[in-house]
Structure 1
Amino acid sequence: MTPELIQTCGDELYDAWRERRVLAPLLERFPAIRIEDSYAIQSRFVARRVAAGETIVGKKIGVTSKPVQDFLGVYEPDFGQLTSGMVCSESDGIDLSGLIQPKAEAELAFVLERDLIGPGITATDVIRATAYVAPCFEIVDSRIRDWKIKIQDTVADNASCGVFVLGNAKGDPKKLDLALAGMALHRNGELHATSVGAAVQGSPVNAVVWLANTLGRLGLPFRAGEVILSGSQSPLVPVTGGDELVCRIGGLGTCRARFHGKAAL
């Protein structure tokens, strides 16, 4: 793709996000689009949000489970950038009126106390650099019509970032077995799904290692204070106003997400 077309696609995604509307899949319109093109489009999309006043507060890892990788036809994770406009709180709940076609996923967040600069990062490095881990919900959203995405589409769309909420529980990763810690997800008071940390690349730590080294090769460090969402440990859950989700991670605690308002679709 030409630089001009990359910019145009990034601007289209930004406008779709701002106006809460969907676009036809990029891969459908541009069959020759490469992953590298998609990340360049993502950069343009995120740059427009930053230019409008948001700041980068972290990164997210997506496509960490084998079923999702098989569906998208790719066999490594992807990543997106978290901005200040995506941060929600447990106490305020999540307003769906700013989203288009939201789905929730439960996962583990890492909050860093010092920089991590790859490549060459190990699991030990990640654990030592982490101030704490917390249960969280990421509410993914897609600017692509009907979630009809392949890897090129979701990468360009900033890894389908929507908003996220961190639980108040904080744990020391040096004292937790993050691979074996079980997760239970309740939807409106009923058990919806169970999982374990090993479902994410063998351990959520491994996913963060992958991202630190991948971004390091691109000259993008993790910075102290950033939030790293390590990848979903639950199925995607469509949400509407009035829903309440609670995830509990063994040995750590809970995160609660209450939803109000109405999404665009």
Structure 2
Amino acid sequence: MDAEAFAQELERAWEERTPIEPLSERGLKGVEAAYRVQEAWNRLRLARGDRVVGHKIGLTSRAVQEQLGVDQPDFGHLWESRFFGVGERAEVPASLFLQPRVEGELAFLIGRRLQGPHVTPEEVLAATEAVAFAVEIVDSRIRDWRIRIEDTVADNASFGGFLVGPWERALLEEDLSTLGLVLYKNGEAVAQGAGAACLGHPARAVAWLANALAAFGVALEPGEVVMSGAWAPVQAARAGDQFTLVATGGRALSLRFVD
């Protein structure tokens, strides 16, 4: 089956909330081929009126990389249709998703163009307009999360949606690797982590992205949002669940899944 056909399957799964069988078990082999599927699906989304507002980085955890047999992260598009805004709280319909999970991380607002393949973390920080703590919803169109690297890459890096907290320039003056967060689910602390969990430093993850995108002739452009990768293990979500991310300095943002 070719990239266009797989992309059509993913689009139907996205629209109809019906999971599909793993693509890796049906002929999709290799990361390069998986990115071709991702791009084909992105074209379908754009044709439906969606818009790319940035990029997300996945697989920043060494443990997850080992689980999927890879030695680097992956990336996907952030689609405007699943951007739940900039602010301290949001309610999202649980029915939008198939099998959502929630994670906390740091978002970057790009201020100056970053073109790989030799971008450094220092250049990322210099080109960043502001950063914000953020909640990402990851989701999989693949039944029961039975994924290999080809599946998650083709599936737009398992993108579900995202909420960004208030943008802050002042945070750029701090060592982002030492910032911390705790994720609460229905009032109970369920995960915690620090910026160092994201490839050692969140700006290092963004530099990796800029350099990886260069192979596709793509740069990070001013105004784009980059979700730099999870700091703590993801948590399963369903209707009625409320997640609150509490970060360094008492910053907090809340995401509730409603019926």
User: TM bucket by the smaller chain?
Assistant: over 0.9
Q: CA deviation at 1:170?
A: 2.4
Distance 2:103 2:20 in 1: 23
1:179 and 2:177 correspond: yes
Question: Which residue of structure 1 lines up, in the alignment, with residue 25 of structure 2?
Answer: 28
Match runs of 1:199-238 below 5 Å? 199-238=197-236
Q: Which amino acid aligns with 1:15?
A: R
Aligned partner of 1:104 in structure 2 is 102
Could you tell me how far 1:169 is from its partner in structure 2? 5.3
CA pair 107-251 structure 1, distance change in 2 beyond 3 A: same
Alignment partner of 2:192 out of 194, 198, 213: 194
Instruction: Quote the Cα distance in structure 2 between the aligned partners of 1:259 and 1:15.
Output: 23
1:13 aligns with 2:10: yes
Which position in structure 2 is the counterpart of 1:150? Answer: 148
Match of 2:70 in 1: 74
One-letter identity of the residue aligned with 1:24:
E
* Deviation digits for residues 10-54 of structure 1 (CA, Å, limit 9, x no counterpart): 111111111111111011111x61111100000011110111001
Report what 2:245 is aligned to. Answer: 247
SS in 2 for 1:108: strand
**Residue number in structure 1 paired with 2:60:** 64
Q: Is the 8 A contact 1:102 1:141 kept in 2?
A: yes
Measure, in 2, the Cα distance between the counterparts of 1:53 and 1:36. Answer: 26
Q: What CA deviation, in whole Å up to 9, does each residue of 1:143-182 have, x standing for no partner?
A: 1000000100000000000110011252434311111111
Deviations 1:40-70 (A, max 9, x none): 0000111101110011100000000011101
> Are residues 1:128 and 2:134 paired?
no
CA contact (8 A) 1:134 1:252 kept: no
Instruction: Give the structure-2-normalised TM-score.
Output: 0.95
Tell me the TM-score normalised to structure 1 length: 0.93
Q: Structure 1, residues 164-213: CA drift from partner, whole Å, max 9, x if none?
A: 00112524343111111111111112221221110110011110010001
* Long gaps (5+) in structure 2: none
Q: C-alpha separation between the residues in 2 aligned to 1:235 and 1:61?
A: 15
Q: Which moved more, 1:94-103 or 1:38-47?
A: 94-103
State the shift of 1:122 in Å. Answer: 1.0
Partner amino acid, structure 2, of 1:37: A
The residue that corresponds to 1:83 in the other structure is 79
The equivalent of 2:35 in structure 1 is 39
SS of corresponding position for 2:177: coil
Is there any run of 5+ residues in structure 1 with no aligned partner, and where? none
Deviates more, 1:34-43 or 1:119-128: 119-128
* In structure 2, distance between residues paired with 1:103 and 1:92: 16
The alpha-carbon deviation at position 129 of structure 1 amounts to 1.1
Relative distance call for 1:252 and 1:190 in structure 2 (3 A) is closer
Please say if residues 111 and 228 of structure 1, whose CA atoms lie closer than 8 Å, have aligned partners that are also in contact. yes
Query: Is the 8 Å Cα contact of residues 90 and 163 (structure 2) preserved in structure 1?
Result: no
Q: Verify the 8 A CA contact 1:113 1:129 in the aligned structure 2.
A: yes
Mapped to 1, the partners of 2:158 and 2:43 lie a distance apart of 16
